[in-house]
Amino acid sequence: MQQASVRLAEANSSSELTGSGPYPAKLVVDLALPNATIYRPADLGAMGRRKLGLLIWGNGGCTNDGASARAHLAEIASHGYLVIAPGIPLTGPVVSHDASGFPAPQPPVPMTTTIGDLRKLLDWALAENERPGSPYFGRIDPDAVAAAGHSCGGMQAILLGDDPRVRTVVVHNSGVNPAIPSNPPLVMDMERLRGLRRSVLFIVGGESDVLWTEANRSFAAVEGIAAAFVSSDVGHGGTFAQPHGGMAARIALDWLEWQLRGDRKASATFVGADCGLCKKPDWEIRKKNIP
């Protein structure tokens, strides 16, 4: 366990995992939550009385690699969020585990996580918020919960969005796609979009994005809630590999800050004819039920 702890400490000193926000983040592998990766402010006490937002993440490809979007998720965490992804880290700076608690690293395997896995992460986090002795006891705002994910994981986020505890959903490079017979929980139809209760943001990589059509069709089907569709010609991989998750992370963060915390400055990215994204020539934005 000491070897694994040293490895985690070394990885967490990397800017890839600290984020750029006011609460430098760290990656945590907690044996109390098997097969999951946690991103959170390294010093929870630094937040004072401010509560953590909660983001449950679906990995690209529905893989079991909890570090596949590590720079993006660490960036979100550094702004005061508890972020949890299914699977232990299998890529990036945390790829070495000893025999005293952590499994040996293996290549990520697609289609190995399900909506049930994400729901368990949500259950665990909110239970920890109520458990005396937990590092998260009383620190999570149960009214500031979001689901998000990339590609196949974005479909999982849509499915989790019908949970009444989820306030908003962020879908990266994805949309409803009924043609995934290899994973029965993701055999979807457009009706699932009607399960979204509050708001949804689609962040897409332009016409070269392999799920461009599905994302457009899904946005068109959303009714009765605040929704935004933003796109730039970055492809299906988005900006996940860029420092701190790139522009997509900044857009997602502003959406979360607005939808979960009511931050008016963050809302300016989306609201109004002269919104922040409206003035960026390399980004397109469409809106529903947003001024």
Residues in a beta bridge with 113: none
Query: DSSP readout, 170-221?
Result: EEES-------TTSGGG---GGGGGG--SEEEEEE--TTSTTHHHHHHHHHH
Q: Which domain holds residue 192?
A: 2-288
If you ran DSSP here, which 8-state letter would residue 47 be given?
G
Instruction: Summarize pLDDT for 210-227 with one digit per residue, the tens.
Output: 999 999 999 999 999 999
Instruction: Summarize pLDDT for 112-126 with one digit per residue, the tens.
Output: 899 999 999 999 999
Q: Which two tokens stand for residue 54?
A: 């909660």
Question: The domain spanning residue 8 has which CATH number?
Answer: 3.40.50.1820
Q: Residue 136: pLDDT above 90? A: yes
pLDDT value of position 277: 99
Torsion of CA 104, 108, 113, 119, to 10 degrees: 70
pLDDT value of position 3: 40
Instruction: Summarize pLDDT for 253-265 with one digit per residue, the tens.
Output: 999 999 999 999 9
Instruction: Summarize pLDDT for 26-38 with one digit per residue, the tens.
Output: 999 998 999 999 9
Higher pLDDT, 2 or 180: 180
Give the global pTM. Answer: 0.91
Q: Residue 10: pLDDT above 90? A: no
Domain count, the chain: 1
